[in-house]
């Protein structure tokens, strides 16, 4: 019985996070009504408050869990893996509603919302690790500052994502990420690395 | 009398746009209350409805007029002017509330708001004109596609602006734009142009 209760609690929590992600993705934080989320999840207010005290709590859970569900490389390995990672993320933006909702919550400037800089810092650190691996493999130009460059990449990625969403509902996001790399790679990687790296929108489909 | 009335109408319209810009800048589109805007402008609902039928109308006016008030170069002239333009815009984001509000309205994903892609296209075209001038001056690398590159620059700028706002309230925006150029210029301009162009955060202060 205790085990059944526990399983049900896990399912309820997951249904709430899924429903919240779908609603935040469609309406943003301030436009997402708690009632809509509860209806979608098929959960009562009482059952929700056992897991989440507020819409802010739910939004925080979406942000934390979207990252946990991604299939990310275990070890940093340099420029090719960094490129692959940005294309994989472009594909996730197209097909994974929790990831999409987490990004929207981070980008939207909601009043009294949950917005903070943590998500950008987390990705900046991931990118920096790949750049450090690239440095160890002698793939980087001499004067590249790994932390600064990682931040520039996160910023460029964020803006590309936003524009692709507004113009095509993200249909062209992988192609736009390819274009971004076209102009950024020569300022980051050595010419021999630039000529070796594959930047292909098809990489957004496979993982 | 007719002239006085006209002048008063112009002042009322301007007060409404200023109050709307301040409120959108602080609270975003969905968080901005019409009453707060009217109070701030010292204008009655009746006087507002003579100029603007809705909050959407006001937001559209802020977006259109923020661009009109900028001091932009009359003729495109290439890479240096493009760099200067991005730094001038960084300064305007810091000191000009109408510009800031217009950008926030364009970036925010409000429910039922005024968001569209036009602002990005407008800036993309400005940037493209500078790149075409750069091409005529033989400043660009051979395989740069001016339209694609302009779009990448607008995306990188947009993401940089967003991250700077979240992390430092835009205090470091000029420095972050300098960092952006550091990694983008070598993929866009010929080496001799890269070595000649000045990219200095101090350019954000003067116009």
Render pLDDT for B186-196 as a digit per residue (tens, 0 to 9): 999 999 999 99
The size of the A-B interface in CB pairs under 8 A is 138
Residue to test with chain A: of B79, B86, B100, B109, most A Cβ within 10 A: B109
**Per residue in B136-165, is it b (16+ CB within 10 Å) or e — as a string?**
eeebbbeebebebbbbbbbbbbbbbbbbbb
Q: Cβ–Cβ of B117/A179 closer than 8 Å?
A: no
Angle in degrees, 0-180, between the axes of helices B34-41 and B2-31, rounded to the nearest 10: 140
Render pLDDT for A3-34 as a digit per residue (tens, 0 to 9): 888 898 999 999 999 999 999 998 888 889 99
pLDDT at A110: 52
pLDDT at B1: 66
Comparing CB atoms, the residue among B28, B152, B154 nearest residue A110 is: B28
Residue to test with chain B: of A159, A163, A199, most B Cβ within 10 A: A159
Give the ipTM: 0.85
pLDDT at A1: 66
Could you give the CA distance from residue B78 to residue B139 in angstroms, rounded to a whole number?
Answer: 8
Could you give the CA distance from residue B70 to residue B129 in angstroms, rounded to a whole number?
Answer: 17
Residue B48 backbone dihedrals phi, psi, to 5 degrees: -65, -45
What residue spans define the domains of chain A?
Answer: 2-66, 72-204
pLDDT at A66: 78
Q: CATH second-level architecture of B2-66?
A: Orthogonal Bundle (1.10)
Render pLDDT for B87-119 as a digit per residue (tens, 0 to 9): 999 999 999 999 889 888 877 655 445 556 677
Residues 6+ away with beta carbon under 8 Å from B72:
B85, B126
Q: Cβ–Cβ of A110/B179 closer than 8 Å?
A: no
In this predicted structure, the answer to whether residue B68 has a pLDDT above a threshold of 90 is no
Please state the rounded mean pLDDT for residues B200-205: 88
The whole-chain average pLDDT of chain B stands at: 90
A134 at B interface, C-beta within 8 A: no
CATH dotted code for B69-204: 1.10.357.10
Chain B residues with CB-CB distance to A185 below 8 A = 187
Q: How far is B1 from chain A (nearest CA, A)?
A: 44
CB A178 within 8 A of CB A86: no
> In percent, how much of chain B has pLDDT > 70?
93
Q: Yes or no: is domain A72-204 CATH 3.40.50.300? A: no
**Whether the domain at B2-66 and the domain at B69-204 fall into the same CATH topology:** no
Give me the average pLDDT of each 10-residue run along chain A (207 residues): 85 95 90 94 94 92 82 93 96 92 74 62 94 98 98 96 90 97 98 96 78
What residues of chain B, 44 to 73, have a C-beta less than 8 Å from chain A?
none
């Amino acid at each position: 019985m205790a085990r059944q209760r526990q399983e049900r609690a896990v399912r309820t929590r997951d249904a709430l996070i899924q429903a919240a992600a779908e609603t935040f993705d469609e309406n943003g934080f301030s436009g997402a009504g708690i009632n809509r989320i509860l209806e979608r999840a098929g959960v009562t207010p009482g059952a929700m408050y056992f897991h989440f005290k507020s819409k802010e709590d739910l939004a925080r859970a979406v942000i934390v869990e979207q990252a946990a569900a991604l299939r990310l490389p275990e070890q940093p390995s340099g420029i090719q893996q960094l490129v692959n990672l940005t294309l994989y993320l472009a594909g996730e933006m197209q097909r994974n509603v929790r990831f999409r909702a987490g990004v929207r919550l981070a980008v939207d400037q909601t009043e009294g919302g949950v917005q903070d800089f943590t998500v950008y810092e987390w990705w900046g650190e991931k990118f920096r690790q790949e750049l450090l691996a690239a440095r160890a493999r002698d793939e980087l130009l001499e004067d590249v500052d790994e932390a600064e460059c990682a931040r520039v990449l996160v910023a460029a990625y964020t803006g590309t994502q936003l524009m692709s969403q507004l113009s095509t509902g993200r249909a062209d996001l992988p192609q736009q990420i390819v274009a971004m790399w076209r102009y950024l790679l020569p300022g980051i990687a050595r010419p021999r690395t630039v000529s070796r790296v594959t930047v292909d929108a098809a990489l957004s489909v496979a993982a």
